[in-house]
Structure 1
């Protein structure tokens, strides 16, 4: 029997919570549903929903963005990227190109794509030109990128990879000793690839309620009800509230492709710094398709400024769940979708952009910001 969103909401309201419960979601898709469906406004006052590190575009390090711009402008490659990446700004002196969109306006051949298959098609259609695919994303995006490199890619196609793993960021927050949340909603699409068991550490190591959620209001409310019930009953377990898509072991074929193509490495997250074993990098067997090796001059070591965002931008705190988007000093003032300052206002997965699209456009009061 299917339980509706309204019925889940009634079950949540019937729970006698012992204290305020802060629940973090780890997915831009989750945050979009929460905001667009107005779930915060209908949940009890002692349930707080916190957006977390669910936007790969937002944490893509500045040195990777700058390398992509240099490749497009100086090496004259065909530079491909997922659409969100084109407007993400780098922190550069006034007068320099600060985004791939600006590089395209200056004459560089920068093209937005939606899937890795488009990268293969464009490279095969332009055999006399180097094509670089700037691929930023979490496991759900990186697995198809791995499959692309196993599909006899043409010699002129290389990859500027900025892939990240989701769970190490959550592990980092939990290991801090002062996480900003009491329960976790794990991302259903990542769990569909990597398996729900990947999130078991939240319960086993940190004794925190956790549930895997899908992307509809009813699935999110079911997962919310589950973690709240765990709080009330004083027991902790990992609940799979997206069983029609997610299984304990995940997509074994996708995982195998990732292992064939990628190694795991420490990685820089913009605004956060280095998170151990949180990144993907190409294995040596794929060096011929590694843009960092094929175009070594594009890298600029001075751009590795862990924790640096544009002046006044609080995107890092938003990504870490430490503040809400409207508590950023620039939100709705200097930073809007028409003129974004930080990456969280650029990407459709960014919490700031989602809140703006949900018509939450007023900055928080000075009192709230404290």
Structure 2
């Protein structure tokens, strides 16, 4: 599956939020291959999406909401969405366009959802409206043409129960990886898979040259050992038993390897990698991102959030870079998105210079920081 368009309102700090993942014309000599549906070169989509922004601008929240929509579709669990409604006295909504295959036919789907407020802030079929429609993507069509066709179809909501409406969609293929403290995650997932373990071995050695490798201990259930010199660092049931022996960056390698191995084996089609490199050297992060991009197969999509400005130096199309910013209005906060390609039109325009000169007005406000000395 490929996400083409997303609208969010009254969910987390997103108000009338809109981001689109199509792009208007083919990029000549692009670093990214197959940035269109396989066999349909006119249907272009942003295959790699770098999400940047200051702290608390919604990078992780954006991923959580996309994941929640996927879970809603797969498990029909509406609470996963309603828990993110910011003001329960007001209507909340989302809309998502995405591409999926149905009997070897490309289809553009749209799911619209509205959640009306109730007196006791409970949500049931009476105040939840969901509508799903789709259209076949024809040989010469682009996203904009198909989206207009859906616009003409979806003129409101039907009386169909939202659970019945969700039956129109099958489970989607995705992988999200969030920071270790997100969702109160407490364990690392180690896969008993030869290719994954080979990737994990190389990943850990890149992050810490002192590591010789990782092996599964067959005599103990769900137990692995990271070999470092004469020492062994045990991971049992996903928990590192002697964590002080590993740096934070090396620990993150357990998740990084999972993403790389999944992309390499084409296990999923949608990937959201959220700040997995916060404790990793800049050059290593750039190297792993470049590897992920080179491993992406046709009809796949990668979202990658980072604070690392050195990523701007990678030879990626400008439309790959999205910057989130949070604006405060009295007691309200609003998140907006800025795509670099909307500002930088020429191939000679420097993305790094634009960010260094704060062209997008996304740099953090340091005024209060400078006042601390005089407190």
* TM-score normalised per structure 1: 0.30
- Pick the structure with more strand per residue: 2
* TM-score normalised per structure 2: 0.29
- Pick the structure with more helix per residue: 1
Determine which structure has more spread, i.e. the larger CA radius of gyration: 2
